[in-house]
Amino acid sequence: MPEEQEKELTGEFILNNEKQPVTKALGEEENLHFYSSLSYHPKKVKFENQEKDEEIVLLVRRDLITNVPWILTALILIFIPPLLFLFSDFITPFIQISPQTQLVSILFYYLAIFGFILVEFTLWYFNVGLVTNIRIIDLDVSGILYKHVSETRLNLIEDVSYSQVGSVRSVFNYGDVLIQTAGTLANFEFDRAPEPARIVRVIADMIGGKH
């Protein structure tokens, strides 16, 4: 990757051209796409404060299917102006709007929809759980300007489990993964994670079968 492109890459995750050592006992190395909600040993990915010998085993986001409600909402909003245009003959006798005002209103309307899509996608993309060979990291983003990062070492994990409540979660195979830590430390939860049983099995194997 050219140096100019590397400087443009910012954020929590940065592409890295260097080949990282991986342990494939728990899954094959995978390419990470922008739409990935679960990746095993993702290629060319590193994170802030990553230790020298630390390898990412799992990268977890909310299941992709959980984006359907806001995507459908956005599609409906996008098609409202064309529908209004089709019925303009019924509306114009009662509402008189100049062409300039109509153009500005439509541009502002679609700008608002674009902002809605950007916010919803950002909240999904940057709410991430990471499982490495050393620790578990939970990155929560609430709004564009707030980020909360918490982590715990694998040797402090006492139990890991998951729950799937409802037919929708069972059909699309996603659920909540709960990671219980020792003592008064905060517990961790991967909310609406894909393939929760597989995630639990991987983490349980890493902590010595405590499950």
Which band of pLDDT confidence, cut at 50, 70 and 90, is reported for residue 10? very low
Residues 199 and 162 sit within 8 Å (Cβ to Cβ): yes
88-126 pLDDT, tens digit per residue, is: 655 555 566 677 887 888 899 999 999 999 999 999 999
**Mean pLDDT estimate for the chain:** 80
SS3 of 85-151: HHCHHHHCCCCCCCHHHHHHHHHHHHHHHHHHHHHHHHHHHHCEEEEECCEEEEEEECCCCCEEEEE
State the pLDDT at residue 25.
40
State mean pLDDT over 117-145. 89
State the pLDDT at residue 209.
52
43-100 pLDDT, tens digit per residue, is: 878 888 888 889 999 999 999 999 999 999 999 999 988 877 766 655 555 566 677 8
